[in-house]
């Protein structure tokens, strides 16, 4: 049995007595709130980690845990597995393609891209990796930063089955379940966008319902308590509902501006296959309203304030 040092995080005590596993050298590009939590769990699993982030200070907590920080993405790719968790299509294209980094990757490296990106860009990336002889896995995740820190993410994985099998021990360190979605990498991105669309739509519906009950002299937090314990149980209604009920939008775990980005990707994916999504159009307009009113950096639950503006007392 392999014994790990788990003093950093009490919730990782379940890692302390694991069967011996093959340790890997891992590169990690992009250390936002999600990336930091995921990278920390890989370190706690005993793997060697090389990290890069555009803002170097984000690497400091991981260096304290034993990671090696580098100043250029190209210094993090001489590894067995390369993880990327960059903000959007633009950031990933800049770091991976415009810089020429992809052309420097060498087999048998496996690239695991965990970012929420467009379906079209995911298809482009898969083709470019294939031409380079590099295994590419799309593995966006469901879960907020606290879920990532607790290693309870749901991982939506698509790409070469053999490569997914190779990195599954790493997925087991960062998530509660891996959902295999076939060989076509962009399928994982389509599924993630669909899931995010349902999430933002639920928050939009809660926002409208909260304004309705408040205009009838009721407390919106009482509505949230009712539905999250009866007909709509689950983290979306209890978590975002509590923020709406308390009108508490900071600190943001999922920023409204990122919700807007995701809905734009949903609409682009829908256009690709001639699907109409009128609810997505409405939610997009409301998220744009939040951004225009200086609330883009607030939590997605700030959609409730958009509804307040639309329905003045």
pLDDT at residue 259 in the model:
96
Question: Is the per-residue pLDDT at 128 higher than 80?
Answer: yes
Considering the domain architecture, whether residues 151 and 212 belong to the same structural domain is answered as: no
Query: What's the pLDDT band for 8 if we cut at 50, 70, 90?
Result: very low
Bridge pairing between strands 2-3 and 17-18: antiparallel
Considering the domain architecture, whether residues 174 and 45 belong to the same structural domain is answered as: yes
Maximum separation of any 2 CA atoms in the chain, in Å: 65
Considering the domain architecture, whether residues 19 and 155 belong to the same structural domain is answered as: yes
- Any catalytic annotation for residue 192? yes
pLDDT at residue 20 in the model:
52
Dump pLDDT digits (tens) for 73-93: 999 999 999 999 999 999 999
Element (H, E) at 68: strand 68-69
Q: Which domain holds residue 66?
A: 2-184
Considering the domain architecture, whether residues 124 and 39 belong to the same structural domain is answered as: yes
Q: What is the CATH number of the domain that holds 57?
A: 3.40.50.720
Residue 205 contacts residue 232 (beta carbons within 8 Å)? no
Query: What's the pLDDT band for 4 if we cut at 50, 70, 90?
Result: very low
Considering the domain architecture, whether residues 217 and 177 belong to the same structural domain is answered as: no
Considering the domain architecture, whether residues 118 and 169 belong to the same structural domain is answered as: yes
Domain count, the chain: 2
Considering the domain architecture, whether residues 163 and 58 belong to the same structural domain is answered as: yes
Considering the domain architecture, whether residues 166 and 288 belong to the same structural domain is answered as: no
Q: What is the CATH number of the domain that holds 244?
A: 1.10.1040.10
Residue where one domain finishes, among candidates 148, 166, 184: 184
Considering the domain architecture, whether residues 216 and 178 belong to the same structural domain is answered as: no
Residue where one domain finishes, among candidates 184, 203, 229: 184
Residue where one domain finishes, among candidates 184, 207, 222: 184
Q: Please compute the mean of the pLDDT values over residues 282-311 and round it to a whole number.
A: 97
Q: Please compute the mean of the pLDDT values over residues 205-218 and round it to a whole number.
A: 97
Helix then strand then coil, % of the chain, to nearest 5? 55, 15, 30
pTM of the shown model? 0.90
Catalytic residue among 90, 192, 221, 255: 192
Residue 247 contacts residue 284 (beta carbons within 8 Å)? no
Residue with token string 């990106």? 117
Dump pLDDT digits (tens) for 93-123: 999 999 999 999 999 999 999 999 999 999 9
Considering the domain architecture, whether residues 127 and 55 belong to the same structural domain is answered as: yes
Considering the domain architecture, whether residues 31 and 136 belong to the same structural domain is answered as: yes
């Amino acid at each position: 049995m392999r014994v790990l040092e788990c003093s950093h995080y009490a919730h990782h005590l379940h890692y302390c007595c694991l069967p011996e596993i093959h340790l890997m050298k891992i590169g990690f590009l992009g250390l936002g709130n999600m990336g930091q939590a995921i990278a920390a769990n890989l370190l706690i699993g005993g793997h060697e980690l090389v990290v890069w982030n555009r803002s170097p200070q984000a690497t400091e907590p991981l260096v304290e845990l034993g990671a090696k920080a580098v100043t250029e993405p190209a210094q993090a790719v001489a590894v067995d597995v390369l993880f990327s968790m960059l903000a959007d299509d633009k950031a990933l294209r800049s770091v991976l393609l415009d810089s020429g980094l992809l052309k420097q990757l060498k087999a048998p490296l496996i690239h695991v891209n965990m970012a929420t990106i467009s379906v079209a860009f995911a298809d482009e990336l898969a083709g470019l990796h294939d031409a380079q002889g590099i295994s590419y896995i799309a593995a966006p995740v469901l879960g907020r930063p606290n879920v990532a820190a607790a290693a309870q993410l749901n991982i939506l994985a698509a790409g070469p089955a053999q490569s997914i099998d190779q990195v599954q021990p790493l997925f087991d360190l960062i998530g509660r379940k891996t959902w295999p979605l076939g060989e076509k990498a962009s399928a994982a991105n389509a599924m993630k966008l669909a899931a995010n669309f349902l999430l933002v739509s639920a928050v939009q519906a809660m926002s409208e319902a909260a304004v309705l009950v408040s205009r009838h002299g009721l407390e919106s937090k009482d509505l949230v308590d009712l539905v999250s314990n009866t007909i709509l149980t689950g983290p979306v209604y209890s978590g975002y509902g509590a923020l709406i009920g308390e009108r508490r939008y900071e600190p943001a775990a999922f920023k409204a501006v990122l919700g807007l980005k995701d809905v734009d990707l949903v609409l682009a994916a829908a256009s690709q296959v001639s699907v109409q999504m009128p609810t997505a159009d409405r939610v997009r307009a409301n998220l744009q309203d939040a951004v225009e009113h200086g609330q883009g950096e607030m939590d997605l639950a700030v959609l409730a304030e958009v509804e307040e503006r639309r329905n003045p007392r």
